[in-house]
Amino acid sequence: MPSNALRTLATCLVTVAALVLLGPSTTRADEGMWTFDNPPIEKLEKEYDFKPSQEWLDHLRLAAVRFNNGGSGSFVSGSGLVMTNHHVGFDCIQKLSSAEKDYVKQGFIAQSFDDEASCPDLELNVLMSMTDVTGRVQKATKGAKDEVEARKEEIARIEKECNDETGLRCNVITLYGGGQYMIYRYRKHTDVRLVFAPEQQIAFFGGDFDNFTYPRHDLDVALFRIYEKGKPFEPEHYLKWSKSGARDGELVFVVGNPGYSGRQLTVSQLEFLRDTQYPLRVEFYTSLLGELETYASLGKEQRRQSKKLIFALQNALKAYGGFLKGLQDEDLMAGKAKQEEEIKKAVKKDKKLKKEAESVWTDIAKAQKQHKKIAAARLVSGFRGSELYEIAENIVRLTAEKEKPNEKRLKEYRDTNIESLELQLFSDAPIYRDMEEVVIRVSLEEALRRLGKNDMLVMAALGSEKPADVAARVAQKTALVDPEKRRELVKGGRKAVEKSKDPLIKLALVLDPITRKLRKKYEKKVEGVEEKAGGIISKAWFAAYGKSIPPDATFTLRLAYGTVKGYEAEGTNVPWKTTFYGLYDRYHSFGGKQPYNLPATWKKKKDKFKMATPLDFVSTNDIIGGNSGSPVVNEAGEVVGLVFDGNIESLVWRFVYTDEKERCVSVHSSAIKRALYDVYDASHIGWELGRKGPKDAGEKKSKKKKSKKKKKSKKS
C-alpha cells in the first residue's frame, strides 16, 4: 500500500484538470441519465455483471411518479402511498399551512385516511408508455417555409391525437437537443393528499449552508397518498422496502426526472451561460432574495409566508454558484473545446454529415448573440416568483389561445395541457398580497434599471408611475387572489378579459403583445436554431463516440446507476454514510444555533432510537435538479434510499460528469423507517412502507393509540 500522504497533493486545480484528461464524458463509468427505451443494459452487464430484465425496468418505470412542480417520487405501498422529498412536497405543505397551523414548522402526521390533507394543486404523473416520433416531426419540417412553426404544429397534432386516443397526458419530448422526438404518455393524478411531513428543521437541517453539501444530516422526506374517486389509489406497481437499506459498495439505481443538464452544449452556448445568462440570474435573484429577507424580517408570519420562495432562491443561487465555478474553470472549458474539435473531426470523416453540419456551430454561436440581446428583457418580464402575475398572464393568454386551433397555440395552452394548467390556475392555495407586492416591485425595478425608461416594456408597465406604486396598486387591488374571480374571467373568455378593470389583468394585457414578441423572437432566432442544429450535432456526437450516449436531461423519466461510496476531500476520507450521532454532533457543535437547531421531538426522543442508524449516504449515480425525491433502489428493486441532493462538487455535473468527489446525496431508507417508528410514533405509516397497504386498512394501530392519548389528556 503506498502512503496516502501524496494524495493530499491533489487540489481543486488537479480535480478539475482531471475532468479534462478523462476525455469525452461518455466514457465515464457511471455517467448517464438513461431513457427507459434505451437502458444501459450492456454497460450494466459489463461493469456490474447485472442484467436488468424488461420486467424489472417496466416495474421501476411504473412505480415512479413525477411531481409536476419540479421533482420526483415513487409509489411505496399498494395503497397509493407516494414518497418524495420534503422540499418537493414543500409547496403543498406550505399551502396547507396557516399562521395557526404551520405544518412546515410543526410537521404533519395523518393518524388515519381521514386525516390526510388534500393538496390544492398538486399533479403527479406516471409514465405509461413512449414512442419514437422523430420521423414524423422531421418529415413535417422538411422543406417547410417556417420550420419552427411547422415543427410546433406537427408536435401539437401528435399530442392531440394521442390525447384523444388514450385519454392520457401526451407530451412530445425533444431529446439530444433536437436529435430525437418521443411521445411520452402520462397517467395523471390530481387528488393527492399529505400523509406525513417531518418538521422542516429536520428535513432541511443545516439550511442553505448545508444545502448542496456532504456530510449531511437531513431527513428530507414527505409522504403523500394518491386518491382516485375518493379512495386510495391502488397502483399495480409499487416499490418494496429493503431490510438493510443502502450498503457500502452496493450497486444502486435512481429512477427520477432530472431537470436540465448541458453536457452536450457547444462552447458558444457554455460561454453564453457563463458570461450572460448565469450572471444575470445571480444578480436578479440576489436582489429578489435581499428584498424577501427584508420582508421576512418584519415578523413571524412574513417569515412563514416567504419561506418557500426564499428557499428556492437560495437553492438556485447556490447552484448557479457551482455552475459558474465550473464554467469559469479554464481547464474545464479547454476540455470542452477539445471535445468539440474531436466531434468536428469525426464529422469531417462522414461526407453526408460534413455537408449537413457545415454551419451548425456558427449558427449556434450566432443564436447566442441573439439570445444575449433579449436575455435581460426575458428575465425581468417573467415576474419570477410572483404567483399573481403568473395567474394574470395565464388568464390573458389562455382565453386568447383557446380561440385558435389547437396546433396554432402556444404549447402550454394546447388541449393536452389545459387540465394541468387549470389545476394550478384555479387552486385555492393562499396568496399573500404584501409578499406579492415585493416580488412584483423587484421585477419592475430590475426592468427599469436594466432596460431603461424608454424601453417599450418598461413604458408599458410603468407609464408615468414608479415601480413601487405600480406594484402596490396591482398587488393590493387585484381580485385575482380569489380563485372564483379567475374562473369567472376564464369562463367569460377573451372579451371579458379585455374588458376587465382588474389592475393586474390590465398590466398583463398591456405587456402581452410585447412579451409574445420577445418569445417569438427567442423561439425563432435562438431555440429554433439550437434545436435544428442540435439534431445534427447529436449525429456528430454519435459519429465521434458511438451510439450509446444518453441524452441531456429534460425533466423526463430516467434511470441512473452507480455505487454507494465515500470519497476523499479536505485531505481525508468522507464516509459513505452519516449516522444520527453526526446529527447530534452538528447540533451541539454549533451550540444549537439556527440552522442547526433540532425540533423539540428530536431533543426529547434522543434516547429512543439507535444512534448508529444510518441517516444520509452518497453514491455515484448521475443525477441533477429534478431528481429530488427519486427513490434509490437496489438490484432487487427495493427502496434503499431517497435522493435529495448532490454535494457541492457535483454541481459541475451540469456540464461534465466525474465521480472523484462528485456524489448524489440520499436519505437512507433505515432513517426514514426509524424516524417514523421511534421519533414520530407513526408506526402505522412506517409499517405500510413497501407493503400492500396499512396493517388494517382504515383501522390503524396508531389510531387507537391516538384515541388512547386523547382519553389520557382528558383525564389529566
Work out whether 5 is an interface residue with its own copies (CB under 8 A): yes
Stretch that binds its own copies, among 152-160, 255-263, 313-321, 402-410 (CB under 8 A): 313-321
Nearer to its own copies, 2 or 230 (CB): 2
Binding pattern to its own copies, positions 285-304, x when CB under 8 A? -x--xx--x-----------
Cα gap 485→501, rounded to integer Å: 12
Which of 128, 150, 251, 324 forms a contact with its own copies (CB under 8 A)?
324
Residues 6+ apart with CB under 8 A from 658: 18, 19, 22, 28, 652
Nearer to its own copies, 454 or 594 (CB): 594
Which of 129, 213, 370, 597 forms a contact with its own copies (CB under 8 A)?
213
| Segments of 48-150 assigned E as strands | 64-67, 71-75, 81-84, 108-109, 117-118, 124-132
β-strand pairing of 81-84 with 572-574: unpaired
Output the smallest distance, CB 121 to its own copies, in A: 28
Residues 6+ apart with CB under 8 A from 369: none
Beta carbons within 10 angstroms of residue 150's beta carbon: 16
Residues 6+ apart with CB under 8 A from 311: 87, 90, 204, 208
Work out whether 577 is an interface residue with its own copies (CB under 8 A): yes
Stretch that binds its own copies, among 178-186, 189-197, 219-227, 589-597 (CB under 8 A): 589-597
Output the smallest distance, CB 314 to its own copies, in A: 5
Work out whether 335 is an interface residue with its own copies (CB under 8 A): no
Output the smallest distance, CB 330 to its own copies, in A: 10
Work out whether 594 is an interface residue with its own copies (CB under 8 A): no
93 contacts 117 by C-beta, under 8 angstroms: no
Stretch that binds its own copies, among 232-240, 262-270, 300-308, 320-328 (CB under 8 A): 320-328
Cα gap 57→49, rounded to integer Å: 16
Output the smallest distance, CB 624 to its own copies, in A: 17
Beta bridge partners of 618: 665
Output the smallest distance, CB 252 to its own copies, in A: 17
Question: Which helix (H) or strand (E) covers residue 170, if one does?
Answer: strand 169-175
Binding pattern to its own copies, positions 233-272, x when CB under 8 A? ---------------x------------------------
Residues 6+ apart with CB under 8 A from 381: 443, 447, 457, 511, 514, 515, 518
Which of 70, 382, 493, 575 forms a contact with its own copies (CB under 8 A)?
575
Binding pattern to its own copies, positions 35-64, x when CB under 8 A? ------------------------------
Output the smallest distance, CB 167 to its own copies, in A: 43
Question: Distances in Å between the alpha carbon of 491 and those of 274, 390, 412, 458?
Answer: 44, 18, 18, 30
Which of 251, 317, 418, 421 forms a contact with its own copies (CB under 8 A)?
317
| DSSP state for residue 550 in the 8-state scheme | P
Helix ranges (H only) for 568-620 are 580-589, 600-604
| DSSP state for residue 407 in the 8-state scheme | G
Interaction with its own copies in 545-574: which residues (CB under 8 A)? Answer: 569-573
Stretch that binds its own copies, among 124-132, 427-435, 474-482, 586-594 (CB under 8 A): 586-594
Which of 1, 53, 230, 464 forms a contact with its own copies (CB under 8 A)?
1
Beta bridge partners of 639: 241, 633
Output the smallest distance, CB 321 to its own copies, in A: 4
Number of residues lying near its own copies (CB under 8 A): 58
Dihedral sign computed on CA atoms, order 696, 239, 669, 650: negative
Give Cα 57 to chain centroid, integer Å: 22
Output the smallest distance, CB 293 to its own copies, in A: 6
Cell numbers of 52, please? 436488468
Interaction with its own copies in 388-427: which residues (CB under 8 A)? Answer: none
Work out whether 603 is an interface residue with its own copies (CB under 8 A): no
Work out whether 586 is an interface residue with its own copies (CB under 8 A): yes
Work out whether 325 is an interface residue with its own copies (CB under 8 A): yes
**Cβ burial 180-209 (10 Å sphere, 16+ → b, else e):** bbbbbbbbebbbbbbbbbbbbbbbbbbbbe
Nearer to its own copies, 426 or 584 (CB): 584
203: three-class secondary structure by DSSP? helix
Work out whether 582 is an interface residue with its own copies (CB under 8 A): yes
Output the smallest distance, CB 10 to its own copies, in A: 9
Nearer to its own copies, 594 or 716 (CB): 594
Block residue for cell numbers 390544492: 120
Chain residues in the site for its own copies (CB under 8 A): 1-9, 11-13, 206, 208-210, 212-213, 215, 248, 282, 286, 289-290, 293, 313-314, 316-318, 320-322, 324-325, 569-573, 575-579, 581-582, 584-586, 588-591, 611-612, 647-648
